């Protein structure tokens, strides 16, 4: 019984690190839909930039 509990605890402690392994080191995908309200998408730069004021 102790072996089963120990294995279960080890497995559950490793799962969160495995779930995040794919996200590490990769830049966030930013799209026009992810721009803040005061920002607009700039195709040339490929990112959100401040919206020019008139």
Token pair for residue 52?
Answer: 């020019």
Distances (CA, A) of 18 to 8, 12, 34: 15, 10, 27
Q: pLDDT by residue (tens digit) across 1-54?
A: 888 888 777 767 765 665 554 555 555 566 777 888 888 888 888 888 998 886
Distances (CA, A) of 8 to 11, 22, 31, 34, 43: 5, 23, 40, 39, 49
pLDDT at 43: 87
CA–CA distance, 39 with 27 (Å, rounded to integer): 19
CA–CA distance, 33 with 41 (Å, rounded to integer): 8
pLDDT at 29: 67
Domain edges within the chain: 2-50
- Global pTM reads 0.41
């Amino acid at each position: 019984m102790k072996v089963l509990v120990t294995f279960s605890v080890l497995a559950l402690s490793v799962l969160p690190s495995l779930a995040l392994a794919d996200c590490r080191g990769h830049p966030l995908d930013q799209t026009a839909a992810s721009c803040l309200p005061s920002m607009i998408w700039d195709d040339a730069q490929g990112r959100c930039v401040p919206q020019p004021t008139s």
